Amino acid sequence: MFENFKPLPVDSILSLVKAFREDPRDGKIDLGVGVYKNADGLTPVMRAVKAAEKKLWEQEDSKSYVALAGDPAFSDAMIGLVLGESVARGSIAAAATPGGTGAIRQAFELVKLANANARVFVSNPTWPNHTSILDYLGMEYVAYRYFDAETRGVDFDGMMADLKDVKAGDIVLLHGCCHNPTGANLNLTQWQAVVDLLNETGAIPMIDIAYQGFGDGLEEDAAAARLVASSVPECLIAASCSKNFGIYRERTGILMAVSADASQQVLNQQTLAFLNRQNFSFPPDHGARLVTMVLSDAELCADWKAELEEVRLGMLGLREQLAGELQRLSGSDRFGFLAQHRGMFSRLGTTPDMVEKLKTEHGIYMVGDSRMNIAGLNAQSVPILAKAIIDVGV
C-alpha cells in the first residue's frame, strides 16, 4: 500500500531552516521560523514554567490518565486568561488539545460534525496550516481580503465587502490578535463592525488566538475575543499556550465552544470529549498542568506576566528601531507600518525576488511571502537588515 503515497511538497519554512543552517556566512540573520528568540537567539524556558516544573516533579505522584477533555482546572484557568469574565462560565464547553493546532483541528472537525455544508471564511493571507487542515478534511473554504499591499495595514473595506457573502452557519475564522503572517490587526471599532455583520448574517466566528501577550498586553490582546464571545450567540475559540508560555514542544492548547445557554453547553462538552477520544484519546497533560500551576499561583503568575511583558516590549523596541532606521535610510515614512504591526511577525510586503535577493546577497532569511519574524532580530542586526532592505530596493 505504501507505493500509493505521492511525494508531498516540502514545507517552505522548514526548508528555509535547512538552508539557513547550511549557509556558511557569518552574520546571516534568520527571520524565518515562528519561534520567539531573545537577543542571544535563544528560546528560553520561562522562569515561572521552570519553577512550576520543579514543583511538579516534587509533588506529582501519578501519571495515570486525567480526563478526555483534560483537567477541568486547566480549562478554568485558560477560560479566565482568554475570556476573563466576559461570558458566563456555564455557557462555555472546553477541552484541552495537543497545542493550538490540535484545537484548530478539533474545531474544524466539530464544525464538520455539526454542519457538513458550512464554509470556512479565512483571511487572505492566513496561517498556512489553517487551509492545509481544511484541505485535508475536505472542507470548503473561501478567502476574504485582509492585507492591503499598499498600506501594509488591514484592507478593512475589502474584508467587510467579502464577508457580506457569508451565510448563516458559515464559519468566519479570525486571528484574535497578532495576525500571522501579516502583523496587521483590526482595531476595536472594526471588530465591533465584524461582530455586527456576524449577528446580521448568522455566521459563526472562530477565533484563533496564539499570541496573547505578544501584542499590546495580555488583557488588550484578549479584548477582541472577549468582545466577540460576549456579543454573538455561538463561537469557537482555539487558544495556544506554545508562544506565551514558551512551551512549544509540550503541545498545550485548548478549544472552547461558547453557546447561548447552559443546556447546550452540556452537549458541547460531551462532543468535545468525544472528538478527543476519536483522534488521540487523552490530551497531553504536562504542559497544561504547568500552565494551570502558573496561572493559579500568585507569585508564579506575577513572574510569568513580568517575563512575558519583557518579551513583548523587546519585540516592540525592535519594531520601533527598525522603522526608525528605515525612515533614516529611505528619508520617508513608508516603513512606518513596521512599528504599527503587532506580534512576532510583519509582512514586509515585497516580491519573492526581493526576498531571494535578501537571502543570496545579504544572508537574510525570511519566508517567501516576505514574512519576517521580528524576534529573530536584535539591536545589532536591525541596522544590518534596514540597510539590506534599502540596498535591494524594497
Which residues would be at the binding site for ligand PLP (CB under 6 A)?
34, 99-101, 127, 175, 180, 208, 210, 240, 242, 248, 253
Identify which of residues 94 and 389 has a Cβ nearer to ligand PLP in the complex.
94
| Active-site hit among 95, 210, 225, 238 | 210
304 catalytic residue (yes or no) = no
State the minimum distance, in angstroms, from the CB of residue 287 to ligand PLP.
10
User: Residue 86: CA atoms inside 13 Å, Cβ hemisphere, count?
Assistant: 19
Q: Any catalytic annotation for residue 208?
A: yes
Which grid cell sits at 43?
528560546
Residue number with CB closer to ligand PLP (182 or 259): 182
CB of 274 to ligand PLP, least distance (A): 21
Contact 263, 246 (CB under 8 A): no
Residue 361: other Cβ atoms inside 10 A: 11
CB neighbour burial string for 158-196, b if at least 16 within 10 angstroms, e if fewer: ebbebbeebeeebbbbbbbbbbbbbbbbbeeeebeebbe
250 vs 325, beta carbon nearer ligand PLP: 250
The alpha-helical segments, DSSP class H, found in the chain are 12-22, 47-59, 72-83, 99-114, 128-136, 156-163, 188-201, 218-231, 262-279, 286-296, 298-330, 337-340, 352-362, 381-391
Distance in Å, CB of 357 to ligand PLP, minimum: 26
Write the DSSP symbol of residue 68.
Answer: T
Beta carbons of 239 and 212 less than 8 angstroms apart: yes
* Residue 243 annotated as catalytic: yes
Q: CB of 180: closest distance to ligand PLP in angstroms?
A: 4
Nearer to ligand PLP, 253 or 363 (CB): 253
Q: Work out how close the CB of 78 gets to ligand PLP at its nearest, in angstroms, rounded to a whole number.
A: 13
Residue 389, classed as helix, strand or coil, is helix
Among this protein's residues, is 148 annotated catalytic? no
- Per the residue annotation, which of 94, 107, 127, 191 is the catalytic one? 127
d(CA 230, CA 234): 9
Catalytic choice (37, 243, 357, 359)? 243
Q: Which is nearer to ligand PLP, 131 or 231 (CB)?
A: 131
Measure the CA–CA gap between 134 and 118, rounded to whole angstroms: 12
| Catalytic residue set | 127, 208, 210, 243
